[in-house]
């Protein structure tokens, strides 16, 4: 059977699609290739996927219902969907709010309606975010905690996705699972993320902007561990029970928060260079610390992250140096 992967030219999307293709699955990829960050990076990721004979790609905006339907109408054997397409970035949502309404709300509704139209849906796995925990100060973040205090529009749209998915699971019996990703990093990552920005500035000898004067911690999660989690979840669709519909939400994190300044130190060591540190106040929409409770996903699907920051960050730095040469 064919699997649909949205956001296939994105960071997580490319890695998930490649893992599925390598396992012999037929994958249809969707991405609008927008210019939120350099399109050339997305094209390079996509080039890796197009080397596989069992991959087909369509450049489509999921908020464009007509174009989405036209692109997928020829595929009659799609039974699984991994929905990773979204407008990402907390800070970008402060200045471009309608991008988030279009991609993350209208676009997600397009995906839900598509899944409802399928003759048989085995599972929809969709991307949520650790940002939904917002102003919650209870650590570690657990899926049983309230998530009704978002501190950014991006977070609000991701919480909206979870509520929308719950309603579709309840109304139509669709098996749906949301994944709250915690600061994913690694090769082929996003240029707007701290690990890329810090590495780039250190190499160029420019000041590294460190917010909240460095008093921050993040549950950094290596991309290979994330892919392992996504595929394990995909293979275990939820079922309706007396407690509720076939909808689940899990954290995907490393279950080990790291100090931001230690994070910078690992990059410095990997590069053999010292950063010029510019300590700044907290940014609007940001949170001081993230820490994922992964007991539910560990219990239900056997998810177990294995990559430490000291192992994963040097792999990103090595990839960054090779990619920057081109």
pLDDT (tens digit per residue) in 219-239: 999 999 999 999 999 999 999
Mean pLDDT for the chain? 94
Q: Please tell me which residue in 114, 133, 154, 320 is annotated as part of the active site.
A: 154
The Cα-based distances of 226 to 98, 143, 269 in angstroms read 28, 17, 25
> Structure tokens of 308?
């430490």
Say what the pLDDT of residue 32 is: 97
Domains of the chain: residue spans and CATH: 2-183+221-255+291-306 (3.40.50.720)
Distance CA 141, CA 133 (A): 7
pLDDT surpassing 90 at residue 325: no
Is 130 buried (19+), middle (13-18) or exposed (0-12) by CB count in 10 A?
buried
CA dihedral sign of residues 147, 148, 153, 159: positive
CA dihedral of residues 82, 149, 164, 176 (deg, nearest 10) = 40
The total of other beta-carbon atoms located within 10 Å of residue 299's CB is 9
pLDDT tens-digit map of 240-279: 999 899 999 999 999 989 999 999 999 999 999 999 988 8
Say what the pLDDT of residue 93 is: 87
Helix (DSSP H) and strand (DSSP E) numbers for the chain? 12, 13
Residue 146: band (very low, low, confident or very high) from pLDDT cuts 50, 70, 90: very high
pLDDT tens-digit map of 13-24: 999 999 999 999
Say what the pLDDT of residue 231 is: 98
Q: Is the peptide bond before 189 cis (omega within 30 degrees of 0)?
A: no
- Closest by CA position to 74, among listed 50, 51, 86, 58: 58
pLDDT tens-digit map of 191-210: 999 999 999 999 999 999 88
pLDDT surpassing 90 at residue 180: yes
Question: Is 21 strand, coil or helix?
Answer: helix
154 given a catalytic annotation = yes
- Closest by CA position to 83, among listed 12, 167, 156: 12
Residue 326: band (very low, low, confident or very high) from pLDDT cuts 50, 70, 90: low
Say what the pLDDT of residue 319 is: 97
Say what the pLDDT of residue 290 is: 87
The owner of tokens 């709010």 is 97
Say what the pLDDT of residue 133 is: 94
Say what the pLDDT of residue 285 is: 65
pLDDT tens-digit map of 80-107: 999 999 998 888 888 999 999 999 999 9
Q: What is the mean pLDDT of residues 105-116?
A: 98
Q: What is the mean pLDDT of residues 114-132?
A: 96
Q: What is the CA radius of gyration of the chain?
A: 19
Strands 217-218, 258-259: pairing is antiparallel
Query: For the whole model, what pTM was predicted?
Result: 0.95
| Total residue length of the chain | 326
CA dihedral sign of residues 287, 288, 294, 295: negative
- Closest by CA position to 262, among listed 323, 322, 195, 307: 195
> Structure tokens of 153?
């529009």
In terms of pLDDT, which residue wins out, 216 or 99? 99
């Amino acid at each position: 059977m064919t699997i649909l992967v949205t956001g296939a030219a994105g960071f997580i999307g490319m890695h998930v699609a490649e893992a599925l293709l390598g396992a012999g699955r037929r994958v249809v990829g969707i991405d609008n290739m927008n210019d939120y960050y350099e399109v050339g990076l997305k094209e390079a990721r996509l080039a890796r996927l197009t080397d596989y004979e069992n991959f087909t790609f369509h450049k489509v905006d999921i908020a464009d219902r007509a174009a989405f339907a036209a692109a997928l109408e020829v595929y009659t054997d799609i039974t699984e969907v991994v929905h990773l397409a979204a407008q990402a970035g907390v800070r970008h949502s402060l200045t471009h709010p309608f991008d988030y309404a279009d991609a993350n709300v209208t676009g997600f509704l397009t995906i839900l309606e598509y899944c409802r139209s399928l003759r048989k849906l085995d599972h929809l796995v969709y991307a949520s975010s650790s940002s939904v925990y917002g102003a919650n100060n209870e650590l570690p973040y657990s899926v049983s905690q309230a998530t009704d205090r978002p501190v950014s529009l991006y977070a609000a749209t991701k919480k909206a996705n979870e509520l929308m998915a719950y309603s579709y699971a309840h109304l139509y019996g669709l098996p749906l699972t949301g994944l709250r990703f915690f600061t994913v990093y690694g090769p082929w990552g996003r240029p707007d993320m701290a690990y890329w920005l810090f590495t780039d500035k250190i190499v160029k000898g420019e000041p590294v902007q460190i917010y909240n004067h460095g008093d921050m911690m993040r549950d950094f999660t290596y991309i290979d561990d994330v892919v392992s989690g996504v595929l394990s979840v995909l293979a275990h669709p939820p079922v309706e029970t007396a407690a509720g519909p076939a909808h689940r939400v899990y954290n995907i994190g490393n279950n080990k928060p790291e100090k931001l300044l230690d994070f910078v130190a690992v990059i410095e060591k990997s590069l053999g260079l010292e950063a010029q540190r510019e300590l700044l106040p907290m940014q609007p929409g940001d949170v001081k610390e993230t820490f994922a409770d992964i007991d539910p996903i560990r219990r239900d699907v056997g998810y177990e992250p294995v990559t430490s920051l000291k192992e994963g960050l040097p792999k990103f730095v090595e990839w960054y140096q090779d990619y920057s040469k081109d």
